Structures are given as structure tokens and as C-alpha cells.
Structure 1
Amino acid sequence: MITWLRVGCAVIVISVVSLVLLPLQILCLRFDWKLRRYLPRYWHRIICYWLGIRIHVVGELERRRPLMLASNHASWLDILVLSAVADVAFIAKSEVRDWPIFGLFAQWQKSVFIEREQKRKTGNQVSEIAERMADGEIMVLFPEGTTSDGNRLLDVKSSLFGAAAAALPKTPDAVVHVQPVAVAYTRVHGVAMGRYYRPIAAWPGDIELVPHLKGIFACGAIDVDVCFGEAVDYRADTNRKEVSATVARRIRTMLASRLLGREIA
């Protein structure tokens, strides 16, 4: 009874906050006001609080710009968590735009949707990413290209770092900073989550969305660590595959460290 009462309160609060902030965000998008970059952070912080998601930040967000964050991807929760920590926009695959609920929210946060099968459109989208980073926006890339089970980092696709290279001509110092980020779901109700219970937070593609959403609402107490690693400087003479390998190695190390609860060299 108490659980469903809490869920009911969370739904009411989230609905009220959304009714207040979303029209303002849509207005900001219509006129391209810079406020559109900052409003999502407040909305996501409120959502995380009422979902019972407790965020622990390790390390610091890179202060230099242009900045691209490269993060592992276990769940739609990653978007809530990262947006609650920093003023960011996301690089997503085109299919996300058509998803119920999440597709709309992604558009309202002005995500860039990559049409991987249509090379001409991809070029325009990469240019948009480059221009927005050059203008000071922080873009988030999920280089795995899909969600995982939350226990590991899948293979990283080096081609997805092409946006960093495209931004170089638009930057004053001819460098883009790529910062690795690890999002690790570590505890549920204060108890170590472990591999068995991590699907509570993780959302691989074969899990139905509605039951997963119900589980998150009913759980009400998930701890997540957001780890910011050392940034990699991407320059004109940088090897994209080397950057990809370095970023992947740092994400894996941070992720394993937080999941295991100890430092890994």
C-alpha cells in the first residue's frame, strides 16, 4: 500500500512539473533561446528525486570547450541521470525519435538524431553537432550504439567519433575535448545490486518497456555513480581509432571500479 501511494505521489508531481516546464521548453526551442539548454537539468533532477534515483558524482566535468562526453549506455535512465548532472544534449540513433514518450522528450531536449543508413543526412547532422559544440553545448555520445546489461561496456564504434573531427574547423584552438564517462548502477535500497539485480536499472532491447517502467517506479531507491574520467584531446592529426580505444579503456576501468567497489589500475 505504501509503495503504491509513493508511486501515485511521484506520478502526480512529475505530471505537474512537466505541465509547467515543458511548455516553456517548447517555447525556448521555438525561438532558440539559450534557456533551452538549462531547463532540462531542473526537470531531470526533479524526476530523479521522485523516482528515488540517488546520484553520486565521481570526478569533475571537463571545463574546457568544445566538449563531447562519451558514456556507456545501460538504460533510458542514463539520460535522466546525465541530464540531472550537467546541461547536455544527446546524439541518438534516428529510431529513438519515433519511440513513445522518450522520442518526444528527446526532441524537446533538442537531441540530434543520426540517420546511419542515409549518408547525405548524416553529413548534415554531423555538421549540426559540430556547430553546437563550437557554440559551447555539451554533446553526449553513446559510442556502443545500443544499450547493454549494465555490467560491461560493449564494443565501441570509432566511426561515431566523426562528429568530434567535424567540429575541429569551427573551434578557435582546433581541438575538441572528448571526456569518457561511466554510469554505474550500484545499489538498490542500499544493498549492492550485483549482476543478478542490475536488470532493475538496465534496459537491454529485449525487455518490454512498460513492465520495466513499473519496476523503476515501484523500486524507489536506486544508487548510481557517474564517473568523469580524464578527457582526450582530439586534434586534426589525431587517430580516431586510437581515441576510441583510449576512451573505451577509461570507461571500462571506471565502470568496473564502481561496480566492484574498488580501484582498478
Structure 2
Amino acid sequence: MTFIRSLFVIAAVLLWAGILVLPQFIVLMAMPKHRYTLPQIFHRGLCRLLRVQVEIHGTPAQNKPTLFVINHISWLDIPVVGKAIKGSFVAKQEVAKYPFIGRLSRLQQTIFISRSRPSVKTHKDDMQEHLEQGDNIFLFPEGTSSNGIVIQNFKSAYFALAESHAGDAPLTVQPVTLAYSMMDNLMMTRGTMGIVAWVGDENLLSHVWDFLKSGKITAELRFHKPVTIDQYDSRKDMAADCQRVIAHGLSRAMTGRPEF
């Protein structure tokens, strides 16, 4: 039964994506200011098909543009974040070459960069262009995914974008904790977290297949107090503070505690 349900979900996801591809092409050409509307609808449907319930705590920043800084755990992060807020993801260059996923990512206005420090600076202009258009940007400053329990160090080079300005004011940066806290209404453990967390060189397709055979997932997005670069002495200090705030939120989410 699980096997049949997994096949059904795969077919439904492909059909759902296929239905929205052409309309998104039309929107990008004729109504570009609405370019994030269909991707958000797509992610909402995707979460429903994947049986992922998204809980939002706190308030997403209303300033446009905003740089949302988020810890990275899995491929599942994309629909979870994309369901909650509109904006462009920053992804590694290799994603653009993935069959099917690469095309969908382009349609959502994803910004592709390599993970090297020089490349972050090179692609800063691409990101700046999105900011000047008022687009929010979603950034995973760990540079790779974590195990879902402990986050990895944030790379300060990714915070160069925080030095941008929206008019006369510095760019708003909002730390966001992403946590997969429950499966089938039971708290996640290190053992069950492996079903969601996609780390190392694990094959994507086999990981997705194993996930489809699992239970219902509760994902939490905890939006913390927005900050700006002028509150810090350097990008390094900003990166360290955002990491601390997000790590604290992750610890509380994984133990079922609310934010203070």
C-alpha cells in the first residue's frame, strides 16, 4: 500500500508541476510583477501532496526587499519556505543542471551560484538586481545541508548582500529557524531525522523515495527579530549572531518549546 501511495504522489507532483509550467511562462512574459504567485501556489500544493504541515511562529518581515537567512536541512526546505513567503532562492549551480528540478527552479527565479567565496562576490550583482526589483531573497548561509539537529557554521561571505541598501535604509535581514519537529505527531529523534535530512553525498532520488514511504511531517518556521548590518561591527559578527539566534530556535523547536 505504501508503495502504491508513493507512486501516486510522484505522479501527482509531476502532474501538478506540469499544470503550472505554461501559466508561469505566460506570467513571466506578460505579468512579471506576479512572478512569485504561481510558485507559492505550487509549493502549497506540493506540501499537501507530501503530507507536510507547515507551522509559522513569529511574523515574516513586511519590508521589501528582505533577506531571509535560513538554516538548511533538506530538499524539502524549498517547498516549506516557498509555501510561507514569496521570493527567490539562492542555490548551488549544480541544481540548474538537475533534470526537471533545474527547469522548475529557473521558473521560480532562483539565483544560481557556486559555493566558492569568489563566486558569491561575482553573483552579488545578480542578487542586487533582484533586490532593486523589490524581491525577497532566501539564503542558506551554511552553504550545505545539516543533519537537522545541529546547524553548521554560517559563512560570512554570504552576508555581503546585507550591505545593500533599500533606498536610504540598510537591507532588512531576518533570521529564520527551519525545524522538522514531528513525524506522525511524535517528536523527531536523531534516528527519524534521517528520513528528512538530506546530507552528504546521499543520492537524491533514493532519499526522496524513502521520504515518500514515511509518515506525516510537521515543519516549523520560526521568524526571529529582523536586523540590519549597521547593528554590527562586521559581516562576520552578523553571521555569528544570526547563527546563534537560529540555533537557539532550532534547539527549542526540537524539544517542543516555544520562543520567549
Q: Which amino acid aligns with 1:240?
A: R
The CA distance in 2 between the partners of 1:36 and 1:103, in whole Å, is 17
Distance of aligned partners of 1:118 and 1:234 in 2 relative to their CA distance in 1, 3 Å threshold: closer
In the alignment, does 2:140 pair up with 1:142? yes
The CA distance in 1 between the partners of 2:197 and 2:120, in whole Å, is 29
Distance of aligned partners of 1:136 and 1:217 in 2 relative to their CA distance in 1, 3 Å threshold: same
The answer to whether the 8 Å contact 1:68/1:138 transfers is yes
2:198 is aligned to: 203
What CA deviation, in whole Å up to 9, does each residue of 1:151-191 have, x standing for no partner? 111011011111221x22xx212311110011111111121
Q: Which amino acid aligns with 1:65?
A: K
1:107 deviates by 1.6
TM-score with structure 1 setting the length: 0.90
1:189 is aligned to: 184
Q: Which amino acid aligns with 2:219?
A: V
The CA distance in 1 between the partners of 2:197 and 2:116, in whole Å, is 27
Distance of aligned partners of 1:19 and 1:96 in 2 relative to their CA distance in 1, 3 Å threshold: closer
Between 221-230 and 234-243, report the one with greater CA deviation: 234-243
1:27 deviates by 3.1
1:230 deviates by 0.7
Within a 5 Å distance, the mapping from 1:81-230 to structure 2 comes to 81-117=80-116, 119=118, 122-123=120-121, 125-165=123-163, 167-168=164-165, 171-230=166-225
Any idea what SS the aligned residue of 2:123 has? Answer: helix
Identity %: 30
TM-score with structure 2 setting the length: 0.92
The CA distance in 1 between the partners of 2:122 and 2:34, in whole Å, is 24
Distance of aligned partners of 1:184 and 1:51 in 2 relative to their CA distance in 1, 3 Å threshold: same
1:139 deviates by 0.1
Distance of aligned partners of 1:123 and 1:236 in 2 relative to their CA distance in 1, 3 Å threshold: farther
Q: Which amino acid aligns with 2:57?
A: V
Any idea what SS the aligned residue of 1:34 has? Answer: helix
Distance of aligned partners of 1:210 and 1:115 in 2 relative to their CA distance in 1, 3 Å threshold: closer
In the alignment, does 2:251 pair up with 1:256? yes
1:31 deviates by 5.3
Any idea what SS the aligned residue of 2:35 has? Answer: helix
The CA distance in 2 between the partners of 1:236 and 1:148, in whole Å, is 28
What CA deviation, in whole Å up to 9, does each residue of 1:12-41 have, x standing for no partner? 332222121012223333457122211101
Q: Which amino acid aligns with 1:79?
A: I
Any idea what SS the aligned residue of 2:192 has? Answer: helix
Between 179-188 and 127-136, report the one with greater CA deviation: 127-136
In the alignment, does 2:50 pair up with 1:51? yes
How many residues get paired? Answer: 260
In the alignment, does 2:76 pair up with 1:77? yes
The answer to whether the 8 Å contact 1:130/1:163 transfers is yes
Distance of aligned partners of 1:262 and 1:220 in 2 relative to their CA distance in 1, 3 Å threshold: closer
1:79 deviates by 0.7
Unaligned runs of 5+ in 1: none
What CA deviation, in whole Å up to 9, does each residue of 1:80-110 have, x standing for no partner? 1000111121112222222334322222211
Unaligned runs of 5+ in 2: none
Distance of aligned partners of 1:237 and 1:188 in 2 relative to their CA distance in 1, 3 Å threshold: closer
2:21 is aligned to: 22
Distance of aligned partners of 1:111 and 1:32 in 2 relative to their CA distance in 1, 3 Å threshold: farther
1:196 deviates by 1.3
Distance of aligned partners of 1:186 and 1:118 in 2 relative to their CA distance in 1, 3 Å threshold: closer
Q: Which amino acid aligns with 1:17?
A: W
Q: Which amino acid aligns with 2:206?
A: P
Distance of aligned partners of 1:52 and 1:177 in 2 relative to their CA distance in 1, 3 Å threshold: same
The answer to whether the 8 Å contact 1:92/1:114 transfers is yes
